[in-house]
Amino acid sequence: MLDPVDAPGLSELPLENLVACHECDLLMRKPELAHGEKALCPRCGYELYANRYNVVQRSLALVIAALLLFVPANFLPIMQLNLLGQSSHDTVWSGVVALFETGMQSVAVIVFLCSMGIPLLKLLCQLAVLLSIRFDVGRSYGLLLYRIYHHIREWGMLEVYFMGVLVAIVKLADMAAITIGLGLACFIGLLLIQVWLEVVMSPHQIWQALSGEDAHAGD
């Protein structure tokens, strides 16, 4: 855990040696962390930042895996619905198209952005940021893209769409025969990888690497 800063000595410490808790606003001295260590707020226990191993390599592997799953997750059938002799194969994309064709264009656009457009943009921003660090090129563009990523990260709502799919399956289970499709497995895999990526891709280390403060972010 970090040491709180005494109020009388605040003005004597440079800003780069201070860190504030995002949860309780406690101002603390910023320590140097070894690999595998993490800094916790002594007041509320919030994890301020961590120094993880092989951040860039591990994050790159996860981003590439997520991009490979993106197309099947959105275009392969999530479930097959058989009702009164009629069969339909539903995908994320077919849901967007159905909303658009039934006159709910604004809802279709929102669903497309939150379930497909913004998640893809997030992954592409993360990929570009990690490649700029890995190959030490275009870090100024990497800084811009990482800022964009932090502005749009809350708008990618795959987990909300997934909960909607689960609710639909539960409600329709007594009315029709439902067969789970490969697209749902890919969608769950994509969701889990993105959650894992949020944990592995330490923002503190990425910002340091992009600004040139940490040349060993990928170690």
pLDDT tier at 107 (50, 70, 90 boundaries)?
A: confident
Q: What is the pLDDT of residue 6?
A: 47
Checking if the pLDDT of 49 tops 50, the result is yes
- pLDDT of 139 higher than 80: yes
The pLDDT score that the predictor gives to residue 45 is 82
pLDDT at 204 over 60: yes
Which pLDDT band, with edges at 50, 70 and 90, does 198 fall under?
confident
Please say if the pLDDT value at position 34 is more than 80.
no
Q: What is the mean pLDDT of the chain?
A: 81
Judge whether residue 131 has pLDDT over 90.
yes
- Average pLDDT rounded to a whole number, residues 27-42: 77
What pLDDT is recorded for position 121? 93
Per-residue pLDDT, 7: 47
Read off the pLDDT band of 13 (50, 70, 90): low
Give the pLDDT score at 123: 93
Among the listed residues 57, 66, 92, the one whose alpha carbon sits nearest the alpha carbon of residue 194: 66
